[in-house]
Structure 1
């Protein structure tokens, strides 16, 4: 089996989905690289071809699965939200239609643009195998790699008086889960994990900035173990592990995404996820 170092997925000039195991954390559109038509071929080192990167895609072996999400997983975010730290990780999912590519534009309908759209930079892990009832100790070996996500949210629909305080509806809109640009192996990420920072910028201005290990409450193995109890988690499931302080809803005054905003989420040792927001049909004010 070929060891994964830095996995990317991309479309070639003909629109074919391909995978590549690259050396760099940055891959350039227009570059010609060795690639494989399936993740299975890549891991076996079979049927390699040369291809040109036309568009980067989320670096997931299977992009057709629900995306798991964790809430209140950073001490700083729980503090800014004035919420108690729970005994176990709060969980919900986003549908696979929420998945969006790195460097892509996130189109927001008037409905979404008008209901307090916000950013959430997050560390994401991807499972390497199907798991159920896995222990935290075993879960460590069930992680294929780490990448970056942005759990875009319409805060209005998280208000208790609007939707009972639930998370799913506020976060499950189309293209509200950009992920990428590269999936880094646990071995590679572990070299930089100590002191690794998560930083979110909007139009170049820093909004979130934390040392992940110092701030995170439930580590990825604990999260995977908890979500797998009496539940089958498919191989290649992406899991967004929560966000630190600095989301727009808790700035003073409150800040929300605007048409044309560029969101950059950077994690040490993984790279930077970039997406621009486009309000296709304008925006109504509810403030």
Structure 2
């Protein structure tokens, strides 16, 4: 099962993929209220609850409970997360390409709910008056599933609901203007997310993915620009969760972007920046492909 949010012709829905059809869990599972607009409202806390969602597949024979993926417009799988925390400089090869030393502790910044856009949604280039250095960053994103405060590294992955893909779109000139990363990273549509969330554990309660053993690839107009591996992270997912939970309470639905591997446009020679008409695809092993087009404002 993969959790996602979609927009069929009639109204928003929170959906689960079984395995090729999007099942409207609001319609298929009466316990989910009609006001639910995102996957946050039915985050399972245990494997037993996850199996209950699987029962929704049995309801797919009811009219318009199941939709093929080409019938829906993808929204971000979380449309109003409480926090979207980005981790800067968290891959060894990315640190090397920027010429910066490895950080001694995670550095982080924020994106906001208004930054998010779903699979096949548009990245809006705000124009040269705002930025002339629009860049891409392929990232594994972690969705928190239960409150986490002062958790140990050993406990950290138990706090994860699932994993998705994000593009940490960045206006480099704004980012480096005065050291305020959020200025260059939190603009509208600068946080493509999706296409869905893969739960961290399968129906038997076993880890579905190893977050430190996934390939990460970004293609710009079909050309591979980033080809990395999460094993290159400086701080693992467990280390990031433990560290952040010492500073703040992580809540269900919070998102942690875990950093990007080498190959970003600003570090290339010559530099490569996004322009209207470009298509960016990010593929992460075990999750899928997130695709977005750049458009003018």
TM over 0.5: yes
1:42 Cα offset (Å): 7.5
Determine the structure 1 residue equivalent to 2:218.
200
SS of equivalent to 1:103: coil
What is the CA–CA distance in structure 1 between the aligned matches of 2:84 and 2:278, rounded to whole Å?
A: 24
Instruction: Report the more deviating stretch, 38-47 or 236-245.
Output: 38-47
Aligned with 2:280: secondary structure? strand
Aligned match for 2:187, one of 173, 192, 196: 173
Q: What is the deviation of 1:71?
A: 0.6
Structure 1 residue runs of 5 or longer lacking an equivalent are: 25-30, 281-287
Shift of 1:132: 1.4
Match for 2:287 among 260, 263, 270? 270
Matched, 1:76 2:90: no
1:33 corresponds to which of 4, 23, 26? 23
3-state SS, counterpart of residue 201 of structure 2: helix
Query: How large is the Cα RMSD of the aligned pairs?
Result: 2.3
Partner of 1:28: none
Q: TM-score, normalized by length of structure 2?
A: 0.82
The 3-state SS of whatever aligns with 1:229 is helix
Rounded Cα–Cα distance in structure 2 between residues aligned with 1:134 and 1:32: 35
Matching residue of 1:67: 84
Shift of 1:34: 4.5
**Structure 2 Cα separation of the partners of residues 84 and 252 of structure 1:** 20
Aligned to 2:170: 153
Partner of 1:228, secondary structure, is: helix
1:107 Cα shift? 1.7
In the TM superposition, 1:226-265 aligns within 5 A as 226-265=243-282
- Matched residues in 2 for 1:257 and 1:77: separation? 19
Q: Does 1:12 align with 2:26?
A: no
Partner of 1:108: 125
Figure out how many residues of one structure are paired with residues of the other and give that number: 265
In structure 2, distance between residues paired with 1:114 and 1:133: 39
CA 1:19/1:268 → structure 2, altered by over 3 Å: closer, same or farther?
A: same
Distance in 1 separating the partners of 2:219 and 2:105: 29
- Compute the displacement of 1:65 (Å): 2.1
Residue 35 of structure 1 deviates from its aligned partner by: 2.5
Rate the CA distance shift 1:114–1:34 in 2: closer, same or farther, 3 A: closer
- Segments ≥4 residues shifted beyond 6 Å: 46-49
Unaligned runs of 5+ in 2: 27-33
Note if contact 2:76-2:194 (Cα within 8 Å) is conserved in structure 1. Answer: yes
**Residue 191 (structure 2) pairs with residue 182 (structure 1):** no
Point out the more displaced range, 221-230 or 116-125: 221-230
Return 132-141 or 69-78, whichever deviates more: 132-141
